[in-house]
Amino acid sequence: MGHAAARLYISQPALSQQIRVLEDQVGVPLFVRHPRGMRLTEAGEALLGEARELLKRSDQLERTVEELRSGHILRIGLPPGLSRALLPELLAPLRERDPEARIEVRELTTPEQLAALRDGSLDLGLVREPIDDDTLARRSLLVEELGVALPADHLLASRESLALGELAGELFVCFPRPWAPALHDVVVDALLETGTEARFQDSSSASTTESMVAAGLGLTLSASPWLDHADGIVWRPLTDVRIEIRTSAAWRPANRSPLLRALVESLPAASEAPSAAPA
């Protein structure tokens, strides 16, 4: 009882009084008292389940009210390395419909976005597939094929295309697995399936990856738009394996934000990113 009172920031006698009042209201004992503490009666167990459900609904009500109150604010999550063209294309219909709409954008990894969507601190996430979460609605927006980006002075840079198996032994600069665990595993599995033994080094950001490749410190698997206008780097398609990155919009179906509803209605169907000609 003392620990419970401390968690509630009230005195122990005050908590005992509240329990007695509650028992008087329901008309049955809720606890069995004994020298070493208390335990719930059968009625107390039943009421506990109902109380937890009531508190859960109360929390949901608070989130709903907050969503309605902040209906003129749309909170969007972006993954590291997102194509620069996707967000402007996504928001264009909404900005035309409601020029005064306030858009808040945060760069978050896919797991961070999923957590923020669940707790209501994010309205829409642009997540890297595959993900496993049946509580979220999703729509695929962009499919990008990965190729290899390598230094312009690399021995293989003069080739128009490359097989992944030709890159055995190379150092691959790669995004950390926590950014998008399932996608990271797809990339690693592709290397394993082609028998490509490679070394890996995590990179803290897309710009760091670009700098390391340009400096000749390694290669990276990327979609060609990720490295647009990057000096000292060439991009080559892969001939022996097809690795795709699918970016989807994800949101909670219960989110009542008018801006989210408007954006979802205008979401385009998935498109294939155009493959750039080898540089």
Domain of 94? 73-141+247-271
How close are the terminal C-alpha atoms of the chain, in Å? Answer: 71
- CA distance linking residue 191 with residue 222, whole number of Å: 14
State whether 197 and 253 are in the same domain: no
Q: How many residues does the chain have?
A: 279
Question: Is residue 177, in this structure, part of any structural domain at all?
Answer: yes
pLDDT the model gives residue 277: 41
Is 191 in contact with 148 (CB distance < 8 Å)?
no
Is the pLDDT at 279 greater than 50? The verdict is no
State whether 136 and 259 are in the same domain: yes
Q: Tokens representing 236?
A: 């080559």
Q: For the domain that residue 116 is a member of, what is the CATH number?
A: 3.40.190.10
The share of the chain scoring above pLDDT 70, in percent, equals 91
| Residue 226 vs residue 14, higher pLDDT | 14
Maximum distance among all Cα pairs of the chain, rounded to whole angstroms: 85
Provide the pairing of β-strand 199-202 with 171-174. parallel
DSSP 70-136: TTTEEEEEE-TT--TTHHHHHHHHHHHH-TT-EEEEEE--HHHHHHHHHHTS-SEEEEESP---TTS
3-state secondary structure of 222: strand
State whether 150 and 20 are in the same domain: no
- CA distance linking residue 19 with residue 25, whole number of Å: 10
State whether 233 and 108 are in the same domain: no
| 173-177, 223-227, 237-241: the lowest-pLDDT one | 223-227
Query: Mind listing the pLDDT tens digit for each residue in 53-70?
Result: 888 888 777 766 665 555
Whole-model pTM?
A: 0.64
State whether 80 and 62 are in the same domain: no
